[in-house]
Structure 1
């Protein structure tokens, strides 16, 4: 089944879920302050679902890291949607996945430029808050995607899937691969990454279940979404824990780097790798037996949904209040959930049997 059909089907099947995945089920944070959250509430009364979709808007995408293959795919999805909507797309950002001050500077610049909406993947849950609140005070719609900030610092969070689904299923995948026995490690991105930490929280909770009594999490390492650093961290994990049986890497950069190291080492066939990756990055490692299975959503659809949500906000069709709905082109109609979260759909598991059916 084509990826678009798979995603559409999963979205329909999970429309009732409150997945703030990612992403999700809990990448959002409780509001640290209620004084500024009134800005979204104040506009809810004026939201008109029948308002015309504005054209000629400028929507800026601010990913965690420009030139990161994952965000290139995602943001190009946003560009595609904005073109179809008759609005303008721009992308800005830092080349580092940990430059939070750089993200703040870009938000401030976009506010000064008076763009109509900002779609941002936050490197840190709180670092952008002051800048994003200022943007909203200036009438700019603010959407987070992939990685959230505090809930009162934006209007919507576009979540890939349920954070709980992602965290738990990654543990389930790896446990099955290692026969529910042995030492495992997690190779994350930045230590402050909201989505990574939320997923890891659910991973740790999943590991408390009786069926994992013989599975031991020995370490959480951080590769900072940098290929070389992630490669080195994988090497370090295996040197420090020679009996390691598996690695979960919930980052597309990390899982590819881990697979690359293991594929060329004595650990191939002895240490399993799973996590979140793109089919095109992971195809060779699946086919050569380094990786049994991994999962992800379609990042281009995530970017598309962020763009449609941004335009719906800027057009006054929605304000971010729970229960409101908006249309997102061929992706369908979406309902805003708790804390302004919009769920794309459930992740897809990729393995040798189906990986050639996907191209992204």
Structure 2
């Protein structure tokens, strides 16, 4: 039976990989054609389409996202009957956006600041991509986010159209929003300052914290899976490493990364770019509530997790408290 399933799984994995690589090509090809037309224009007169693309870089990014991600990814999800791809592209789209903003003809920026942010974005993306594939046992599209599965059950036959708004259109708000500092960084050309150093420290700290937290969580899940295979009781809750001081240190690290980018934008005089990270943080606060409710529904860990909630900070790592609320070290 296993031998029969393996070729099927391998075929599905290859199919999903091909789909994932082909999906963003429409936007990439369109943008390369735009750059080519802009570069080879000798009389300074662009066609209306290319002129609009030239004068509205942020709007163009939103149009490409809407057509290529919201619409095309949604259509693909209806064919595959799975919304797995948007999770993968959370790790890819910021990289695409930072290069888009940096290569746009209207871009004007400090080379050092741009290079630093581009390199950090690649490191962030590689870390998150590694965690995604490690969690999915190195498969493409093995499963979709459990929240989408829950919503599918909740909305039933209406999910096919609700998913366009709940899964895809909402991602435009989040991803374009949190990447607004990347647009600002490639729109203002001023020398580096002390706040750039602060921003780099915050961003790198976020990447390191998220990596350590996700690795500790992966090791914990792997150990529990081995215990299940041996027929032994599993450990109900992770309370070691960073998880001893925060119930969601991976979320905390991710937020540090995005707010570090906000510091770049703020130091360049565009504090308004914080709005995307604020919306993302508010959304993640809601997701935190959903995750903890899910934990409490699992009988084998509910009691341990309630104790964990009473003694451990939600996001920001901090010292343990007693169940009554007083610090043990007080």
Q: TM-score range by the shorter chain?
A: under 0.3
For the pair shown, which has the larger CA radius of gyration, 1 or 2?
Answer: 2
Question: Which has the bigger relative contact order, CA under 8 A and spacing at least 6?
Answer: 1
Q: Which structure dedicates a bigger proportion of its chain to helix? A: 2
Q: Which structure dedicates a bigger proportion of its chain to strand? A: 1
TM, length-normalised to structure 2 = 0.24
